[in-house]
Homo-oligomer: A and B are copies of this chain.
Amino acid sequence: MRRFPEPISNLVAAFARLPGVGPKTALRYVFYLLQQPKFDLDVMARALTQLGERIQTCSRCYTYTESETCEICLDPKRDPSLLCVVEEARDISTIEATGMYSGFYHVLGGTLNPIEGMTPDTIRLRQLKARLETSPDVKEIILALSPTAHGEATIMFIQKQLASPGRTMTRLARGLPLGATLEFADEVTLTDALKGRKKL
């Protein structure tokens, strides 16, 4: 690739580090931005700086927040008997969007994946354990992890580590997603969908 003027190649290099973005896509972004007013570039630059300066992780649930403790953890209307364990902070917004859950959250920060260096020590299992020890109110722990190989392994591991008589541990239901066709459903999903069938 021809050497572009430095400001262009610097930004291409920065964008190319984003997940799923290669040099060609990065260049496309930069050429798009070159056609925008300078003001828009400054807005984006300011948003980036602010992200680094103003965002921290919540001291209780480890989601991203502007204050020491996040809005959800501070909300007195939340149900303290429910704790939902998620992989990443972004999963919280997905669950909140359903409007079906009113308990608290705990962000693990990953699933067990020894090859990529994710062990029980690098994800926030110790913190989860400590939190449960000081939270006698929690009656149900919902392990809302993705049903992938690593997610399943993590569910099994947490189940073994944190099982206690006074607490239920649950996981999200598996079944056919909305809009799926039976023809392309895999056996495991279909087995679960059959087992969990509902009376009409």
- Which chain B positions have C-beta within 8 A of A42? 48-49, 52
Instruction: Report Cα–Cα, A52/B4, bound state, in Å.
Output: 15
Q: Answer whether residue A130 sits at the interface, using C-beta atoms and an 8 A cutoff.
A: no
Copies in the assembly, this chain = 2
Known A38-B52, A53-B38, A55-B34; judge A7-B47 contact (CB<8 A): yes
Contact B38–A5 (Cβ < 8 Å): no
- Which chain B positions have C-beta within 8 A of A52? 38, 41-42
Q: Answer whether residue A149 sits at the interface, using C-beta atoms and an 8 A cutoff.
A: no
Taking the nearest CB of chain B, how far is it from the CB of A112, in angstroms?
18
Instruction: Report Cα–Cα, A19/B40, bound state, in Å.
Output: 14
Instruction: Report Cα–Cα, A38/B44, bound state, in Å.
Output: 15
Report, as a range, how many residues of chain A touch the other chain: 35 or more
Contact B19–A64 (Cβ < 8 Å): no
Within 8 A of B (CB), among A1-36: 1-2, 4-8, 10-11, 13-15, 17-21, 25, 27-34
- Which chain B positions have C-beta within 8 A of A34? 51, 55, 64, 89
Q: Answer whether residue A97 sits at the interface, using C-beta atoms and an 8 A cutoff.
A: yes
